[in-house]
Amino acid sequence: MTLHLTKKLADKLKLAPEPQTDADALYSWRANYIQEHGYRFVVFMNDASRFMVVINEAKVAKLKKLPELFVQTLRESMLAFSVNPEVIERYFAEAGELSYARNADRKMTAQLNKSTDSAWGSLRNYSEDVDLSVCASAAAIFGADETYKPKDKFLGLLERYGLPVRKSRALDLNVRLYLDGKDALRKLRVPASLSFEKLHKLLQAAFGWANCHLYSFGLFAKWPEEYEDQPVVELVVESDQYDAYEANPNAKSIAGVKLSDYVPEYTKIVYLYDFGDNWLHFIEVERVFEDCAEELPVLLSGAGDAPPEDVGGTGGYAEFLEIMADPAHEDYEEMTEWAKSQWWKPFDLEVVKRRVRRL
């Protein structure tokens, strides 16, 4: 595998490699160093597909480990797209040892600059290397008709190994948002390797939340008899706004924890969002299965509206629904305008499917 470095990146690495022509573009990558507007990052672009890898916060310590970070991030990005682990191993085995060369292809340099624009767009929403790489590769569009998608092209080229390109361990999750008789339901299929932090983002998209409050996940072997029962394990976001460790001695940091770390030992999960309104989402692992060939995550089905943010819990939501159902109510116009300001809309299955797919 060859990394063709721009002069800027080669100088940063204190290298002077010679130009090189690769026999197989699938194992050839262009790489550039960007330092602007307070950001420092490296963009790698695959010659055959324009698939991207982005290494953020590329300061001295990261630059010293750049080859290892590139391989690790590319591997994890492929897993994020549900690529078959056997295919990933074949790719790296056939790519061979990594070497440096000087970038001397003007056409590829122009493509690399366009890829950099996609990386800039991803930085608006993400900071972690894998998230940036996945977002940049999925969002980038090339070609005059804007139909050339690097992610699809890269996965298509992996068919050369004669193996299923997509293959992952997956979970079907039934999620019920408790709304005192007007519960909202969503059924999701997710990779078992999904982190709880990303599951949080997925649930935000599925229920239309705005991701503006703290949250936690409580894990149970069986459903608690009371909503207030403490979970066997509670995964929390560390925050100066709330001492979760004092509230529950079983609390653990959510950072880096994956569903596969606890499932299938624990198949009952309570996702609590907004410690003021206390929105309880009851998640049941309905099915664990191997060899999933789909691109994940995906919303399989859903029903029921979710509340707007800051409506005041289940009691406030009941009042909200009463007012919204009565145009003659004295507060109807004010409540309608407030709902718009919260970006609240009734549940639309196809819209939410697309929102989940974009993640």
> Which residues in the chain come in under a pLDDT of 70?
140-147, 227-228, 240-242, 244-245
Dihedral of the CA atoms 248, 252, 255, 259 (nearest 10)?
Answer: -100
Give the pLDDT score at 358.
79
Give the pLDDT score at 149.
85
In this structure, the strands spanning 184-191 and 268-273 are unpaired
Q: What angle do CA 297, 301, 307 make, to 5 degrees?
A: 95
Give the pLDDT score at 138.
83
Give the pLDDT score at 141.
61
Same fold, 2-161 and 168-358: no
| Closest to 239 in 3D by CA, of 255, 222, 221 | 255
Output helix, strand, coil percentages for the chain, rounded to the nearest 5: 35, 25, 35
Give the pLDDT score at 239.
73
What pLDDT, in 10s, does the model give residues 169-220?
999 999 999 999 999 999 999 999 999 999 999 999 999 999 999 999 999 9
What pLDDT, in 10s, does the model give residues 123-176?
888 889 999 999 888 876 655 445 578 999 999 999 999 999 999 999 999 999
Give the pLDDT score at 228.
67
| Closest to 228 in 3D by CA, of 176, 183, 278, 175 | 278
Amino acid in the structure at residue 228: E
Q: Where are the domains of the chain?
A: 2-161, 168-358
Give the pLDDT score at 21.
85
Give the pLDDT score at 316.
97
Do 189 and 199 contact (CB within 8 A), yes or no? no
Question: Long-range contacts made by residues 70-73, C-beta under 8 angstroms, separation at least 24?
Answer: 70/3, 70/29, 70/31, 70/44, 70/98, 71/98, 73/129, 73/130, 73/133
Give the pLDDT score at 124.
84
Strand partners, 173: 188, 285
Q: Does domain 168-358 bear CATH number 3.10.290.30?
A: yes
Query: What are the C-alpha distances in Å from 22 to residues 10, 100, 352?
Result: 19, 12, 43
Based on its alpha-carbon atoms, the radius of gyration of the chain, rounded to whole angstroms, reads 23
Give the pLDDT score at 144.
47
pTM: 0.83
Q: Does domain 2-161 bear CATH number 1.10.10?
A: no
Do 206 and 302 contact (CB within 8 A), yes or no? yes
